[in-house]
Structure 1
Amino acid sequence: MNETLPLGRIAGVRVGLNWSVLVIVALVTFTLAEGRFPDAHPDHSAWAYWALALLTAVVFLASLLAHELAHAVVARRNGVEVDGITLWMLGGVARLHSEARTPGAELRIAGVGPLTSAVAGGVLLILAVWLDALHTSGLVVEAVAWLAGINIVLAVFNALPAAPLDGGRLLRAFLWHRTGDRLRSTRGAAAAGRMLGWFMILTGFAAMVFAGDLSGLWPALIGWFLIAAATAEQRQAELHGVLDDIPVSRVMTRAPDTVPTTTTLASFLTEGPFGRYRHSAFPALAPDGTAAGLVTVRLINRAPFQARSTTTIGDVMRPLRDVTTAGPDDLVADLLPRLEASRDRRALVLDDGRVVGIVTLADITRALSWLAEATRPRT
C-alpha cells in the first residue's frame, strides 16, 4: 500500500498515510457523531459530538500506528529491516525489508501486534472506569470506552489464525516449526485466510439481503481483502521458492545510464530519446559520483516548459531516501515485494553508495519466466 502523505519517522521507522485513511476517519467520525454518542448521551450539542468523534477517530489511528510500530520495533530487534509503515483504510501495513529467518522470530514479530492492541484496550478500559468514578462527563467516558472496546476487538480479530492477519503468521510460525517447510506452512495459513474471507463475505451479504442491514458491507469488504491478501501472500512464498538464493546482481541491469544532478532539464532533453538517454528512468548522481536519487521522464515533464533551461535534475528527482534500493548480494525474493509497493517500480542497486545497477519488475519477471520454464517437468 503506497503512502500519499509522509509523516516523518518514529523510532527510526518511516511513517506515512495513504489517502484511503480518510475513509476510516470519516466513517468512525460519522458513526460516533450521528449514532453512538447522541444515542448514549442525548443532552449535548452537535458540535460537541462531532469534535469528540473526530478526536476519537484520530486516537484510533494512533492505536493502529502503535500496533504497527510494535511489529516494526520487534522486527528490527530480530534482524529484519523495516522499510516503513503506511496507514490506510483497513488499518496499517508494516513493510518489512525481508522475511523472518526462523519460526521463533516470526512468532515474536507477529505476536507483538495483537498484544499491543490488547494492552492498549486494557489500559483504556481502566481509564474509562477511573474517569467514570471521578464523575467525568459521560460523553468523554463513552469515547474512551469505545476506544478500549475497538482495540480489544482489533486484538482478537488480528489473532485469528488466518493469513494475512497476525494470527495467520502465528499459525505459519507454528506449522513452520512443526514441519520445517516454510512454503507448506504459508500455504496452510493462506488457505485459512481464504476460508475466513469467504465466511465474512457470505455472512456480510446475508445480513444485507435477509436482514436489510447495510453494515454487512463492511465485513464483506474486509473478507474480500483477506482473500486477495492471503492469495498474494501464498504467491509471494511460491516466488521465494523459485527465486530462492538468487542475488540481485544476477537480474539487475549493470552500469545503467546515469545523469548528474547539476544537468539542466533542457540539456537532458536534447539527448533523448534518440541520443544518450533512451530510457524512461535514470539514477541521478551527486558531484562526488554517489547516488543522489532517481529521475523519470514523468517527473521531468511536470516541470514548466519555460523553466527547463534553469531547472536541474536535482530539483525534480526523487531523492534517494524515497527510492527503493538494494545491495548486489541482497536476495531477489526479498526485493520483489518492496519493488511492487514502490512508486517507480524500480530499485537502484548500490555498492558503498555508488550505483552498480538498476532492477525493474520486468527484469525479475523475465528471470522468473526462465526459471519456471527450466524447472517445469516434461511430459
Structure 2
Amino acid sequence: MVRRHARFRAVISTTTAGRRTDGDGNGRVRGVGRVRANVRLGRVAGIEISANVGALVIVLLVGLGLAGGQFPQQYPGRPFLVYASAGLIAGLLITASILIHELAHALVARGAGIDVEGITLWLLGGVARLRGEPRSPAAELAVALVGPLTSLALGGVFAAAAFAVRAATGGGLAVATLGYLAGANVLLALFNLVPAAPLDGGRVLRGVLWWRSGDRDRAAISAARAGRVFGIGLIILGFAQLLLLRGFGGLWLALIGWFLVHAASAEENQVRLGQRLSGVRVRDVMSASAVTAPAEAKVSEFIDDVVLRQPYSTYPLVDDEGRLTGLVTLNRIRALPLDRRAETRLADIACPPPEVPTAAPDDAVTDLLPRIDGCTDGRAVALDEDRRVVGVVSPRDVARLASAAEFRTPQSLQGADLATTRV
C-alpha cells in the first residue's frame, strides 16, 4: 500500500515501517551539532574514537591527586605548577593507556568477525562498542584476555622506561610519573581480570563456562551473577571506607560497585530476553505502515506536511527505488535549531546507512538486538533482498513481543516462530 501527501506528492511514500513514540535517545546529528555529549576524537585503524566529559574528569582527578599528594611527598620543594604539569601528563597518559586497552579488544573482536561501532572514553574508563557477540568460547577468551594482557604489557613498558630514566638522571618527577603509569596499568589489568561481568575477567569466566558446558546462556548468567555479587561487595567496602576512614576513595569504590551491579543485571536480563525470543524472526517484531521520505526534503516542510500529521517518530530515508539512504527520528529533528529547519535537508540530520542497524525479515531477532544502538535512538530497519525498506524495529516492538513471550518457557521457544497480531 502506498499513500502520498499533497506537498510531498512525488517524494513521500508509505511503506511497512516502524512506529516509535517513547522518550529521547542518543545520537549524532551531522552538520548541526550533537544530541549526545560525546566528542569525536578521530579514528584509529578505522575505529571511531569518542569521549565524553567523564574522560576529562579522569585526567583532572589523576592530575590533581598526584600534584596535591604523591609528587610533593616524593620530591618536595618544587613549584606547584611543576607538580601540576607532571600530574596532567600522567592523567593524559593513563587515559591513553585505557584507549589502547580498548583498542586491543576492538581489533581482536574485528578479527573474530564482530563489527566494531567504536570506542568511548568516559568516567569509569572506556568501552569498546561491539555489534554482536563472539561465536565460540575461543573467540570469547581471545577478545576478553587481550585487554588485560595489553595493560600488563604497557605496565612493563612504563616500568622499563622508569628504570632507564632513573639510571640516566638519578630520579625526579619523570621517574615518579613513569612509575605511577606502570603501577596503574598493572592495577588496571588485575582489576579487569576479576571473574565478574562486565569486567574482562567476567568474559573469561563466561568463555570457560561456555567451553565446559556448551551452554552459552547459562555461562553468561553465571558470569553476570558473579558481577552483581562483586559489585555489591565494592559498594559495601566503599561505604565502610567512607564512614570509617572518611576518604574520597570509598565513594569511588561505591560508584564502581554500583555500575557493576547495574551492568551485570542488565546483561542477565538481556540473556533472559534472548531466551524468551529464541526462534522469533524480525518480521514477527517489526511494525507496519509508517512513512518514508526522500533525503532531499527540507526539514521544515517535512514537519508541516508529515510529522504533524502522522503518529510516528521514525522515518527511513529512501531513494526512488525504496532503498535505504538514512534514518531520521523526532529526536534528531528536535536537535536542529528552529532557524535552520527551512534550509536543512533531511539527509543533513539523518543517521547514515552504515550506522543504521539492518536485518532481513527472516533473520533472528536475537541476532539483531545487540546491534540496536547508537544514533538511531534504538531503532533498526528491515530490508528485503534488494535492500529496500520493508519495516522498522523499535524497542517498543521488542518489549511488546518479550512481554508476550515471557509466558512461554525457553525450551518451548526453541525453533518456534512466534507471530504477533496487530490491532
What is the TM-score normalised by the length of structure 1? 0.91
Q: Would the alpha carbon gap of residues 345 and 245 (structure 1) be closer, same or farther in structure 2, given more than 3 Å must change?
A: same
How large is the Cα RMSD of the aligned pairs? 2.5
Give the match for residue 22 of structure 1: 56
Counterparts of 1:323 and 1:340, CA distance in 2: 9
* Cα pair distance change 1:322/1:38, threshold 3 Å: farther
CA distance in 2, matches of 1:132, 1:203: 37
Task: Report whether the alignment pairs 1:65 with 2:99.
Answer: yes
Give the equivalent residue in structure 1 for 2:330: 297
Match of 2:265 in 1: 231
Please tell me whether residue 39 in structure 1 is matched to residue 39 in structure 2: no
Larger deviation: 54-63 or 301-310?
Answer: 301-310
Contact 1:255 1:355 in 2 (8 A): no
Query: Quick one: which of 306, 317, 320 aligns to 1:284?
Result: 317
Match of 1:120 in 2: 154
Q: Which runs of 5+ in 2 are unaligned?
A: 1-25, 27-35, 412-423
Structure-2 separation of matches of 1:33 and 1:69: 29
Q: Which structure 1 residue ranges, 4+ long, deviate > 6 Å from structure 2?
A: none
Pick 1 or 2: higher relative contact order, CA cutoff 8 A, min separation 6: 2
Aligned residues: 376
Cα deviation, residue 287, structure 1: 6.2
Question: Alpha-carbon deviations, 1:259-315, whole Å to 9, x = none?
Answer: 11111223212323464x441221123567542322223433444545443332223
State the Cα distance separating 1:340 from its structure 2 match. 5.2
Whether 1:310 and 2:343 are equivalent positions in the alignment is yes
Conserved 8 A contact 1:32-1:49: yes
**Distance change in 2, residues 1:353/1:143 (3 Å):** farther
Pick which of 3-12 and 361-370 moved more: 3-12
Q: Percent identity, aligned pairs only?
A: 44
**For the Cα contact (< 8 Å) 1:261–1:287, is it kept in 2?**
no
Opposite residue 154 of structure 1, the aligned amino acid is L
2:184 is matched by which residue type in structure 1?
I
* Map 1:323-338 → 2, pairs under 5 A: 323-338=356-371
Cα deviation code 1:228-259 (max 9, x no counterpart): 11111111111221223433233123574211
* Distance (whole Å) between structure 2 residues aligned to residue 353 and residue 69 of structure 1: 32
TM-score between both structures, scaled by the size of structure 2 = 0.82
What are the ranges of 5 or more consecutive residues in structure 1 without an aligned counterpart? Answer: none
Is residue 7–residue 17 contact of structure 1 (8 Å, CA) maintained in 2? yes
Aligned to 1:171: 205
1:156-305 paired onto structure 2 within 5 Å? 156-254=190-288, 256-273=290-307, 275=309, 277-286=310-319, 289-305=322-338
Which structure has the highest helix share of the two?
1
Instruction: Kindly state the Cα deviation for residue 36 of structure 1 after the two structures are TM-superposed.
Output: 1.4
Find the counterpart in structure 2 of residue 82 from structure 1.
116
Structure 1's 212 and 315: CA in aligned 2 closer, same or farther, altered over 3 A?
Answer: closer
How far apart, in 2, do the equivalents of 1:210 and 1:244 lie?
49
- The alpha-carbon deviation at position 159 of structure 1 amounts to 0.7
The 3 A distance-change label for structure 1 pair 293 and 190 is: same
1:56-80 superposed Cα distances (whole Å, 9 cap, x missing partner)? 1111111111111111111122222
Residue 328 and residue 41 in structure 1: after superposition, are their counterparts in 2 closer, same or farther (change >3 A)?
farther
